[in-house]
Structure 1
Amino acid sequence: MSDIKKVVLAYSGGLDTSAIVPWLIENYGCEVVAFAADVGQGEEELEGLEAKAIASGASECHIVDLKEEFVSDFIYPTITTGAVYEGEYLLGTSMARPVIAKAQVEVARKVGADALSHGCTGKGNDQVRFEGAFAALAPELRVIAPWREWDMVSREDLLNYLASRNIKSSASATKIYSRDANAWHISHEGGELEDPWCEPSKQVWTMTVDPLDAPNTPETLSLTFNKGKLTHVNGDALSPYQALVRLNTLAAAHGVGRIDIVENRLVGMKSRGCYETPGGTVLVKAYKALETLVLDKSALKYREQIGLEFAHVMYDGRWFTALNDALLAGAASFAELVTGEIVVKMYKGNATVIQRKSPNSLYSEDFATFGADDVYDQSHAEGFIRLFSLSSRIKALKAQGGAN
């Protein structure tokens, strides 16, 4: 352990990383540089973070603003793929990990560190996401994962460890939920959620209004896209991050974006989590609605296949891979057509697309109308159907002994 001189720790100021700072110093005899990423988790989580890190024993603390990069370079590209993990999860925690890991490596090189560290447990997905990124970006740096090394096994162990060293922590044994927040979402695990038969209590949810308490009057909002990127909300030109903040505020007030799922973790076990993604839910629905206007059947089918594969690439922490690059390139080609405006109605936890238009729309009322038209000869459908079902006809005739 003595060969490690300086470690850059992904630091949040929570219970785990507060304990990791002194633990690294005691067990590795090294200098610890704290690194915190601002990915839109909120000012209250970042307030006093530098002082707290120094008080825990860190030599310095770097807080890096990644909000715009996170939204524009990681969230928006993911939206273009249509990725949704196991049909419901919008990948909020997963999407933040590559931008955080990338910035952590940049800080490590800046300060001349020879190791990286994180507070991920040996049971979760995040250890794979961080270390997969480290391997791709800085294979020469050693990775220290204290949860896989120390003998502490519980929240109480960590609290006692900090108390014995007179290190203050805002954590307590009564704070039973594990939460992770960023500009896209907030996740909740632990407490009563560990029993999948137990309904989440009201104290679980922190970002959105209970749909039962949401306004009794619906609210509509307009989203304008240009080549796959959201550019305006209700007519206002906004940066990617600003647009997401606006959508979060509007959608959260109507209780939009809550899900309660049991998912398959990468390490093999199942876990139960509750997620709140208000603005993201509206954004994903709007984007997909615009896609249905501009992509033909085969193109949309292929884009859906990209989304299915990309959901696992993102969830499994494979952002810095050739497969990721190829999938994003494919999605980006389709996104070139995704230009137009979508209107969404929000009401009591629901977000429903009610209007859509695009200069690239393939929808033609002249062809689709149930009324009289001069552009479509319905008799042509007979030949199409006979050819489309020809293999089935031949199979049936053979079974009847009527075809060679």
Structure 2
Amino acid sequence: MKKENIKKIVLAYSGGLDTSIIIPWLKENYNNPEIIAVSGDVGQGDELEGLEEKAIKTGAAKLIVADLVDEMVDGIIIPALKMGAKYEKYLLGTAFARPVIGKKLAEIALAEGADAICHGATGKGNDQVRFELAIKRFAPDMPIIAPWREWNIKSRDEEIDYAEAHHVPLRISRETNYSKDKNLWHLSHEGLDLEDPANEPQYDKPGFLEMSVSPMRAPDAPEYVSVDFEAGAPTAFNGKKMKASDIIRKLNEAGGKNGIGITDIVENRLVGMKDRGIYETPGGSILYFAHEQLEMITVDKDTLHVKQKLAVDFADLIYNGKWYTPLQEALTAFADEANKYVTGTVKLKLYKGNIIPAGTTSPYSLYSEKLVTFGESDYDQAQAAGFINLWGLPVKVQALRELGRL
């Protein structure tokens, strides 16, 4: 579609550096179109404050804030939790949010009669893929504008220059200009001194950590928490039933103040380059750990091992933006079935960045103290000899062949 034919644009708007300058840039470069800013509320909290006023002052016709927290948690995070999906130790925080935001952008664009959808993801990153695959799934004919693939701006410093020249207010300075992404599940930090893996993260630097404290600054006394699960999904925190998103909020609070879930990772981006990021995932780290503890006693060996293999594929699928696909539906169905008996209570001790098991119970436990005890049991140890003879028969036959005795 030609630029002059684009009269109305739906913009994925966070109010961060990229999207703050995109509104005036679109006005200048696309013949002053009507811009509908859309912010997906995925649990980023106070980042949404003042966003409507800012969007309109910088040229948007209006701001639509879409509550996507529970859709993200129940629809994407819980299936990933059930599968145990991790991408190279990364708990997929940004990747969890992008599909639901992309879907909502497509829905709003169609409802508003927009001519295009615009996003602020860079041409170097993963988010451009995640947004656009979701948009293609729900609005396959919708043109997509990605300014980072068009404009002459080359760096975040130049973005700040543009913002200052166009009187766009920013919440950051050149010294605190980390690229951050926040939602209910996590907060990511990239850029500045973190671009060199040789640099130690400055966890005590004011304004750096937001969801957590450094483990060195965590309390000297441990804190106990418990999480209840039903069929693999969290249902209660410290014995009190609540929806999954509220459990994550409670675990974020408990984990954050105890220095839980801070990871420093160099990951392999989808586009082919390596990238260094610091991630804060306090509640998510606890939830994954608790789920794994409960799986240990409720899931049989074969199912658990296959699920662990498929977890890599499931994490890749999420990371690579392929959430709305038949493969996701098939893997999610497997995860649901594999978690049929993952019901029970997990108690944990949180202490200075550590998650320590403090007891796991389940009505569907496969653990039998009567079988495994070092004391007297009903298990007939003599039967092991026959099992080993059969299990080791191929090894014995190979040895006999080498000795010429077959």
Question: Which range, TM-score by smaller chain?
Answer: over 0.9
Note if contact 2:299-2:339 (Cα within 8 Å) is conserved in structure 1. Answer: no
Q: Distance in 1 between matches of 2:405 and 2:167?
A: 90
State the shift of 1:313 in Å. Answer: 0.6
Identity %: 48
Aligned-partner Cα distance in 1 for 2:168–2:132: 28
The residue aligned with 1:377 is 380
Corresponding residue for 1:181? 182
In structure 2, the partner of 1:20 is 22
Unaligned residue ranges in structure 2 (runs of 5+): none
Partner Cα separation in structure 1 for residue 385 and residue 5 of structure 2: 78
Deviation at 1:169, TM superposition (A): 2.8
Distance 2:254 2:330 in 1: 35
CA displacement, residues 181-237 of structure 1 (integer Å, 9 cap, x when unaligned): 100010111111111011101223222121112111111111111111111100111
Q: Deviations over 1:282-315 (max 9, x none)?
A: 1001101111111111010011112111111111
**Hey, what does 1:244 align to over in structure 2?**
248
Q: Which stretches of structure 1, 4 residues or more, deviate above 3 A after TM superposition?
A: none
Give the TM-score normalised by the residue count of structure 2: 0.96
Alpha-carbon distance in 1 for matches of 2:174, 2:254: 34
Quote how far apart the aligned CAs of 1:170 are: 2.9
For 2:178 and 2:316, how far apart are their aligned partners in 1? 26
- Match among 333, 338, 358 for residue 337 of structure 2: 333
Say if 2:402 is the partner of 1:392: no
Alignment of 1:352 onto 2:356? yes
Judge which range, 137-146 or 22-31, deviates more. Answer: 22-31
Deviation at 1:395, TM superposition (A): 1.3
Kept in 1, the 8 Å contact 2:110–2:139? The answer is no
Q: Name the residue aligned to 2:275.
A: 271
Counterpart of 1:365 in structure 2 is: 369
1:249-307 deviation digits (Å, cap 9, x = unpaired): 01111101011111100111001111111111110011011111111110100111121
- Give the alignment of 1:218-237 within 5 angstroms: 218-237=222-241
Name 2:214's counterpart in structure 1.
210
1:132-172 CA distances to partner (integer Å, 9 max, x unpaired)?
A: 11111211101100000001111232222233333333333
> Can you list the C-alpha shifts for 1:108-132, whole angstroms capped at 9, x where unaligned?
1221112111000010011111111
Structure 1 residue 178, shift from structure 2 partner: 0.9
SS in structure 1 opposite 2:379?
coil
| 1:113-262 matched pairs, under 5 angstroms | 113-201=114-202, 202-203=204-205, 204-262=208-266
CA–CA separation in structure 2 for the residues paired with 1:67 and 1:217: 32
Shift of the alpha carbon at 1:21? 0.8
Q: Distance in 2 between matches of 1:346 and 1:162?
A: 43
Of residues 7, 10, 32, the one that matches 1:8 is 10
SS in 2 for 1:7: strand
The answer as to whether partners of 1:306 and 1:331 remain within 8 angstroms in 2 is no
Task: Spell out, residue by residue over 1:13-58, the C-alpha distance to the aligned partner (whole angstroms, 9 max, x if none).
Answer: 1111111111112212221110001111112x11110111111111
**Residue range with higher mean Cα deviation, 351-360 or 170-179:** 170-179
Question: Kindly tell me: are residues 167 and 253 of structure 1, through their superposed partners in 2, closer, same or farther at Cα, counting changes over 3 Å?
Answer: closer
- Which consecutive unaligned segments of at least 5 residues does structure 1 have? none
- One-letter amino acid of the structure 1 residue matched with residue 183 of structure 2: N
Inter-partner Cα distance in structure 2 for 1:343 and 1:156? 47
| Alignment partners' CA distance in 1, 2:243 and 2:122 | 35
Q: Which amino acid aligns with 2:353?
A: G
Query: Structure 1 246/55 Cα, relative in aligned 2: closer, same or farther at 3 Å?
Result: same
Which residue of 1 is the match for residue 59 of structure 2?
57
Is the Cα–Cα contact under 8 Å of residues 227 and 337 in structure 1 kept in the other structure? yes
Give the alignment of 1:270-349 within 5 angstroms: 270-349=274-353
- The CA deviation at 1:7 is 1.1
Secondary structure, counterpart of 1:224 in structure 2? strand
Q: What is the DSSP-based 3-state SS (H/G/I as helix, E as strand, rest coil) of the residue aligned with 1:193? A: helix
Query: TM-score normalized by structure 1?
Result: 0.97
Q: Distance in 2 between matches of 1:385 and 1:395?
A: 16
1:66 is aligned to: 68
- Give the superposed CA RMSD: 1.1
Contact 2:298 2:364 in 1 (8 A): yes
Residue correspondence of structure 1 range 70-109 to structure 2 within 5 A? 70-86=72-88, 88-109=89-110
* SS of equivalent residue, structure 2 residue 5: coil
